[in-house]
Structure 1
């Protein structure tokens, strides 16, 4: 199976986990299936480095139950980009995902593609709401490589700067040897 084909299976299997993620009111798990294509206006507002990937770029709302979204993740869905391309197609240097506010102003970002960044799959949880804005964003990377799974630095909302700030470094998890 090709590099991309195998990942399609992995992402499809993870889809139910995203959709059925723990939604306890304080934390929500981002459902990749709920992400939508960008509008033409949003596409026009992205830097030129995004242009080759616009057909595979999605907007994923980080919403509190019953509230209007005030923060969204803008990311390239790599599997969508590679759909129909040969298995030997080289891995692209995709732009890193952006976090934007309701006016489409950048307020932060993450360092790996959501929901899949070869060969890893990402799970994004957001919560601890205040005024409709998730105060923290946590990303777990399920990495099948020898280095194993790890968490990206936690992003915490800085209301005075209207930006997400990293509050710690990556925390690799040790693989079980048994």
Structure 2
């Protein structure tokens, strides 16, 4: 009986000792997972902020620069939804989604002919009367028209920005033009989304010589 009491006493003392010696490990284990969670969360926040900063263009704060590399060749089914004069350019017609960020969906896109690629494939550099780029909705209904071919007209290069969001719709599309001719670079008035008509309108389609005024850029970015 006395031997049993000694064993029980030893067992209790041993448990007490182990709790004292290793009890803090449970807290360390909990803290470890908490630290891991915080670290993973920080990574996701960093990636999200990086994407937002990458999407917003420093030259036009609040606007995103349209990247040619994000434009996708349209298939035959999609091209058949466009006006008939687009059909002959199959394989060279691309749609450029107007996305808010890299992961978002978009119901609007710019549709244009990669004119130089088309001419090179034909082995001719004789410029054609190409259809002007369209802004289309998800059903490929035209809701706006560009004044020149994107990305390359003859001999100009269009640089496009979009922003001033109204929900998932870019409220403005800016078109700057790089022009190697003596007359130099120019720009156009913004294409502005009209809620009433459901279309993009450009108040004045006459090009403006020189770079877009700084005051205009600042005013637009703050609205």
| TM value normalised by structure 1 | 0.79
3-state SS in 1 of match to 2:159:
strand
| Unpaired segments ≥5 residues, structure 2 | 1-53, 212-223
8 Å contact from structure 2 (residues 56, 62) kept in 1: no
- Which of structure 1's runs of 4+ aligned residues deviate more than 4 A? none
Deviations 1:105-163 (A, max 9, x none): 11001011111001111100000111110000000010111111110221000011100
Residues 62 and 72 in structure 1, CA contact (< 8 A), matched pair in contact too: yes
Residues in 1 aligned to 2:110 and 2:181: alpha-carbon distance in whole angstroms = 26
Structure 2 distance, partners of 1:123, 1:148, is 14
- What's the secondary structure of 2:80's corresponding residue? helix
- Higher normalized helix content (fraction of residues): 2
Number of paired residues? 155
Q: What SS class does the counterpart of residue 117 from structure 1 fall into?
A: coil
Find the residue that maps to 1:41 and give its secondary structure: helix
Give matches, 1:141-160, under 5 Å: 141-160=177-196
Matches within 5 A, 1:1-178: 22=57, 26-65=62-101, 66-86=103-123, 88-168=124-204, 169-173=206-210
Alpha carbons of structure 1 residues 80 and 20: separation in structure 2 relative to 1, 3 Å: farther
Contiguous gaps of at least 5 residues in structure 1: 1-18
Q: Which has the higher contact order (CA 8 A, sep 6+)?
A: 1
Q: Deviation per CA, 1:63-100: give whole Å up to 9, x if none.
A: 112431121000000122022333x5311110000000
CA RMSD of aligned residues (A): 2.1
How far apart, in 1, do the equivalents of 2:150 and 2:56 lie? 16
**Kindly tell me: are residues 84 and 67 of structure 1, through their superposed partners in 2, closer, same or farther at Cα, counting changes over 3 Å?**
closer
